[in-house]
Homo-oligomer: A and B are copies of this chain.
Amino acid sequence: MKLTELAEIVEGDVEGNGQIEITGIGKIETAGRSEITFISNPLYEKFFETTEAGCVIVGREFEAKLKRKDVSILRVDDPYLSFIKLLEMFETNVDDELEGISDTSVIGEHTELGENIFIGEFVSIGRNCRIGTGTRIMSNCSIDTGTEIGNGCLINSNVSIYKDCRIGNNVIIHSGAVIGSDGFGFAKNNDGSYRKIPQTGNVVIEDNVEIGSNTSIDRATMGSTIIGKGVKIDNQVQIAHNVEIGENTVIAAQVGIAGSTKIGKRCMIAGQSGIVGHLTICDDVIIGAAVGVSKSITEPGIYTGYRARPHKEDLRNEIRIRNLEALEKRVSNLEGQIKKSE
């Protein structure tokens, strides 16, 4: 694609040669002659002098310290957003070709398939399912009886979705994720053994959710485990039965959320944190990495620490612990002074 054509897409102005052919996207340190890159963070401006990219997207105010005749400039309002737009465009071109239902897939009775879908090799879809328009299901996925998947979804390879789940539109699920496995519920028998509590509910995933690889979302004991609209979940996250997650909440890798906990909207939970069961976390809460949350949170804000507390409090506490050596010395001094004075 010609640079002038890209410029139209991002509503930018070309300085230099607009006729060069751009075939891809690159990092400023490594991009080649036929690639376009960007500078958004001033720390990266120094790379303008050495980049081998054919074109660099820059902001309206950017001024090159070194003029470079061999590098075209594409000047835009927001270089980062423009860059994402181009990334999306190049990405889409590649995946457009997936369409059709492979001969090796098996689709159960009374299952409805939308138009323009792609179903890869060795995909098993049970009876009474519904797959929406434009949805792509990659190879070796298993989708059990009665599950419905909306329009425009991408289910990557080796995903398992148990029966009767509901997946909205434009949902992306990465490989190895398991949706709708049984919640971990047992009643103790008198002899110390356990009896399984049937998990008869399902999982409901709303529109525009993305779920990372090898993440597990258990079905509800009764009712639904609910992943709200626009939620983004990273890899290896564990969501237990009857959990509810509010819209546009973001959950990083290896987080675990125990049964029946409700998380608000627009929360951010960093990697490896854990939230115990039956809690309520209000909207707009930020939880740091590897934090343990064992009480409900009712105030928005940042929470950190092995035992979650408001971040400032946690920091002050951490400093006190680091000052323990000094405190011990002050006590020893006092003891010495008292002894001397006696």
Residues of A within 8 A of B (CB): 24-27, 30, 80-81, 84, 87-88, 90-91, 102, 104, 106, 120-122, 124, 138-142, 144, 156-160, 162, 172, 174-178, 181-182, 184, 186-187, 192-198, 200, 208, 210, 212-216, 218, 222-223, 230, 232, 234-236, 238, 240, 247-248, 250, 252-254, 256, 258, 265-266, 271-272, 274, 276, 289-290, 292, 294, 306-307, 316-318, 320-325, 327-328, 330-331, 334-335, 337-338, 341
Taken together as a complex, chains A and B put the C-alpha atoms of A121 and B106 apart, in Å, by 7
Chain B residues with Cβ below 8 Å from A214 are: 176, 178, 214-216, 236
Chain B residues with Cβ below 8 Å from A341 are: 341
Q: Are B292 and A289 in contact (CB under 8 A)?
A: yes
Taken together as a complex, chains A and B put the C-alpha atoms of A230 and B320 apart, in Å, by 42
Chain B residues with Cβ below 8 Å from A250 are: 186, 194
Q: Are A90 and B274 in contact (CB under 8 A)?
A: no
Chain B residues with Cβ below 8 Å from A181 are: 156, 174-175, 212-213, 235
Taken together as a complex, chains A and B put the C-alpha atoms of A248 and B154 apart, in Å, by 36
Q: Are A178 and B223 in contact (CB under 8 A)?
A: no
**5 residue pairs A–B, Cβ–Cβ below 8 Å:** A27-B223, A104-B106, A157-B160, A184-B232, A271-B276
Chain B residues with Cβ below 8 Å from A276 are: 271, 289
Q: Are A254 and B254 in contact (CB under 8 A)?
A: yes
Chain B residues with Cβ below 8 Å from A330 are: 331, 335
Q: Are B235 and A238 in contact (CB under 8 A)?
A: yes
Taken together as a complex, chains A and B put the C-alpha atoms of A222 and B86 apart, in Å, by 13
16 extra A-B contacts, CB within 8 A, seeds A192-B248, A316-B325: A27-B223, A87-B200, A90-B198, A174-B181, A178-B213, A178-B214, A192-B265, A193-B208, A193-B230, A213-B218, A214-B214, A218-B235, A238-B254, A274-B290, A320-B321, A331-B334
Q: Are A176 and B174 in contact (CB under 8 A)?
A: no
Taken together as a complex, chains A and B put the C-alpha atoms of A307 and B274 apart, in Å, by 17
Chain B residues with Cβ below 8 Å from A317 are: 321-322, 324
Q: Are B176 and A178 in contact (CB under 8 A)?
A: yes
Smallest Cβ-Cβ distance to A95: which chain B residue: B163
Taken together as a complex, chains A and B put the C-alpha atoms of A337 and B238 apart, in Å, by 55
Taken together as a complex, chains A and B put the C-alpha atoms of A120 and B160 apart, in Å, by 13
- Rounded to whole Å, the gap between the CB of A116 and the closest CB of chain B is 19
Chain B residues with Cβ below 8 Å from A91 are: 198, 200
- Rounded to whole Å, the gap between the CB of A36 and the closest CB of chain B is 11
Smallest Cβ-Cβ distance to A83: which chain B residue: B197
Chain B residues with Cβ below 8 Å from A175 are: 142, 160, 162, 178, 181
Identify A327's interface contact among B194, B256, B327, CB under 8 A: B327
Taken together as a complex, chains A and B put the C-alpha atoms of A138 and B181 apart, in Å, by 13
